Amino acid sequence: MPHAFRPPANAVVLAGFMGTGKSTVAQLLAERWELANVDTDTLIAERVGTSIAELFATQGEEHFRNLETEILAELSNQEGLVISTGGGILLRSQNVEMLQAMGPIICLHASPQVILARTADSDERPLLNKPDPQGEIRRLLAEREQAYGRADYHIITDELSSEQVAERVQELVAADPRAVFVTQLPVQLPVALEEDSYTIHIGEGLLEATGTILPPDESGQQAAVITDAKVTELYAPAVTASLSRAGWDVRLLTVPAGEASKTLATAGQLCEQLAEAGLDRGSVIFALGGGMIGDIAGFVAAVYMRGIEFVQVPTSLLAQVDASVGGKVAVDLPRAKNLVGAFHQPRAVVVDSRTLDTLPDDELQSGLAEVIKHAAIADAEMFAYLESNLERIMNRDRTALKYLLARNCQIKAEVASADPHEQGWRVVLNFGHTVGHGLERAASQWQLSHGDAVAAGMIAESQIAVEKGLAEPAVVERLSRLVEQAGLQPDLSEVDFDGAWAALSSDKKIRQGQVTLPVVPQIGRVEVTDQVKLSDLRGALVRLLV
């Protein structure tokens, strides 16, 4: 399992035994990505003014290893690198720790026979100056097996050209949220399910490439882009034009913006429009917009003709990091949110990070609540990253946002893949939502944002957990400080207590009066408990609203 939980990287690292192709592949990737290419052996030779073979002969291997460590410490302060390393660099734990902090480590492998053939004509392999070089290769490979095992990814290069190895490295890097500094490379995260697996595509400018990413099965295949009045003006032209260029026959359907549109009545109207336009079971819906659009368009896709395919094209941070992934689609009833819905997995998710440039500050803040939730339940290092980098994030730093998009989608996908129909572990994604949904539904005319409601819910539910001895007090302290820094300080004065209690007690997670509640004992860990009672949740609402 790759160490995908680490914060954004500044390098892609190629490691492995001599003769596996590290230097050549690194050069290809650096040119392809327009990044700096550095080779640790070359840097050492330039520093000492002699060849590696001469350095080994005169100063010994230990001195060489010390220079490697020194060079790595210097590279750790640079950005945008493709690094090829010496064959023994992973032997030192100190080196491994520095490299892991710098970026994903891809270890290249080859058989002893192939390594010998590739290195036979080189005079710069001091470790192979032995009577039986192939035997020495076998001995060194066995000696380094555990060290090489500490890499994040592994590629056997025996039968691959350098170009093929570079392609494979690019595929691996595209699925690693740490490597978002490779800005021109879209991140591609697989959502692995027994059925209906799909890919999340994350990058800049993807709206204009929607048709290229998802071409029709045949020219003239029908598609409906469902969006809201606000998003139509901003992004619908780019998406519909891209789909049309690719050969889709496109209709644009628009609903009023806002949660008030997420109703059975609106869903029925959309189904009528699809039928009038002649869309059939081979047609595809593209849900272009925030979480409300993803929910209602996905719900329509789930019920129209007993289910047709749909694609999530989220344009808000909240939808991009949470609502678009996992296949939960629904509409609201007057009594509570999302009471009528289905599990209907998308065909794909296309996330264009540039849509965040036009996102109002309050909507960016609302999305950050779900980011904070994911960090609290699954990633202590991302939580610390948020604490240290919130100003960069609020200023819409591209690398920071791309990392958050990728890492949060990865967390959501991992949980949803393990429990696609929310029969068990997926309940952990509802941290803060039991209280939060009650507050949100009871606010006058949906005036309380989802993010503000979830932020208040996370703190309230964590306070209950602390009182019951299920969580450390530091959880409430750090959550409270972070949501305040993110501007998530809801005004609850207009939230009706009776309405909030009615919505909370109708929550889907409450069965026969029994509450199944996720709690965070420590930042980065989550557990599910049945020790919290409805009376505890009512008490939390009293503290918040009375």
Whether 426 is a known active-site residue: answer yes
Amino acid at site 308: I
Query: Which among 178, 251, 374, 412 is annotated as catalytic?
Result: 412
Query: Which one from 328, 337, 373, 441 is the annotated catalytic residue?
Result: 328
Other Cβ atoms less than 10 A from the Cβ of 205: the count is 12
- The CA radius of gyration of the chain, in Å to the nearest whole number, is 26
Tokens of 122: 């080189």
H or E element at residue 497: helix 497-505
508 labelled catalytic = no
Active site residue 450: yes
Catalytic residue among 22, 251, 426, 478: 426
Catalytic member of 422, 440, 441, 461: 422
In the residue annotation, 335 being an active-site residue is answered as: no
Q: Among 145, 195, 218, 306, which one carries the catalytic annotation? A: 306
Kindly state the DSSP code that residue 278 receives in the 8-state scheme.
T
Task: Find tokens 């609020």 and name the residue.
Answer: 394
Q: How far apart are CA 164 and CA 302, in angstroms?
A: 40
Edge to edge, what strands does the sheet with 284-289 contain? 187-191, 198-203, 348-352, 309-314, 284-289, 222-228, 249-255
Element (DSSP H or E) covering residue 1: none
Indicate the SS3 state at residue 103: coil
Which candidate in 22, 450, 461, 478 is catalytic?
450
Query: In angstroms, what CA-CA distances link 167 with 28, 78, 147?
Result: 10, 25, 25
**Nearest Cα residue to 13 out of 147, 154, 107, 141:** 107
Q: Which of the residues 10, 95, 408, 430 is marked catalytic? A: 430
Q: Is 433 noted as a catalytic residue in this protein?
A: yes
Give how far Cα 77 sits from Cα of 74, 127, 151, 343, 504, Å.
6, 30, 21, 46, 50
CB 427 within 8 A of CB 516: yes
Largest CA distance in the chain: 86
Selected catalytic residue, list 68, 370, 440, 461: 370
Q: Is-catalytic flag, 370?
A: yes
Q: Which of 437, 441, 461, 478 is flagged as catalytic? A: 437
In the block, residue with structure tokens 């002649």 = 278
Question: Is 437 noted as a catalytic residue in this protein?
Answer: yes
Clarify whether 125 is annotated catalytic.
Answer: no
* Residue 245 designated active-site: no
344 is catalytic: no
CB 228 within 8 A of CB 297: no
Sole residue written with tokens 């909507």: 363
From the list 251, 433, 441, 478, the catalytic residue is 433
What is the three-state SS of 154-176? EEECCCCCHHHHHHHHHHHHHCC
In whole angstroms, how far apart are CA 263 and each of 224, 260, 333? Answer: 19, 7, 7
Catalytic (active-site) positions: 306, 328, 370, 412, 422, 426, 430, 433, 437, 450
